[in-house]
Amino acid sequence: MKLSHQFYASPQLSDSTSRTLPTPNLAFHSPSTECGVRPHVKSGRIVGGKGSTFGAFPWQVLVRESTWLGLFTKNKCGGVLITSRYVITAAHCQPGFLASLVAVMGEFDISGDLESKRSITKNVKRVIVHRQYDPATFENDLALLELDSPVSFDTHIVPICMPNDVADFTGRMATVTGWGRLKYGGGVPSVLQEVQVPIIENSVCQEMFHTAGHNKKILTSFLCAGYANGQKDSCEGDSGGPLVLQRPDGRYELAGTVSHGIKCAAPYLPGVYMRTTFYKPWLRSITGVK
């Protein structure tokens, strides 16, 4: 992250690529029902484009691709835990030929097992790609990963809350997290990165893309976040990861998931996310999430 997204998810698109407030001390009462809480974070503010701290984003998932019967695995995308059995990611993160996906929950530093609590890895039993996904436009760039067995929630493994059906986050600051590239064409971090970006009204986002000379259509199902001058953004490797905001009750909810962009943190080219409220009926029909 630059957090700057770039995802060459589709060969026909050479340049279109895929990709707080003081926190109240919320008690971790019932691991089975609490969503959007951060038991490891007592207080403090998020600063853009910095390394996170262990357990600060317990809904973050690392999606890895396994090939040759597990002989080779590579970090592929981000994801977000929404129930004990389901993870949201991007449709363009689906596995390649003869490959399978694994989901790692509770991960923080991917360079080794240095954390105070161990991450949990689950095989993905089923990849449910949105039927109307269009790799040429990234429309409906959403997929659900069904885990082969439920993950047990813990202080560092917590599902994100769903937003209200009619929630509008325009103008608010949101936080995007991931292990994606630190800049366009740059290296990848070992520690989970976080950055704050403002959510932009779709019509303004559309104008920004036009100003940059791109005729990309910003659909109602899309959500844009970023700055006119670039600077902060998601980047290649962040795709499928969460864009979250804090609710008045202190919990966090999912505004969108990283989809795509053009380069990373480039002027007038904000990051494009899948808008969670638009896809709630689809998510609910498969997972039952409210």
Using an 8 Å Cβ cutoff, are 178 and 51 in contact? Answer: no
* 3-class state of residue 178 by DSSP: strand
- 93 phi and psi angles, rounded to 5 deg: -90, 5
> In the annotation, is 239 catalytic?
yes
Contacts of 287 (CB under 8 A, 6+ apart): 82, 83, 85, 86, 144
Catalytic residue from among 16, 18, 66, 239? 239
Rounded to 5 degrees, what angle do the CA atoms 168, 137, 144 make?
65
From the list 18, 40, 52, 92, the catalytic residue is: 92
C-beta atoms surrounding 229 within 10 Å: 10
141 is catalytic: yes
The residue whose two tokens read 């030929």 is 97
Name the phi and psi angles at 10, rounded to 5: -140, 120
Q: Exactly one of 4, 141, 221, 260 is catalytic; which is it?
A: 141
What CA–CA distance (Å, rounded) separates 23 from 41? Answer: 7
- Closest Cα partner for 178 from 164, 189, 166, 193? 193
**Would residue 214 show up in a list of annotated catalytic residues for this protein?**
no
Residue 274, amino acid? M
Active site residues: 92, 141, 239
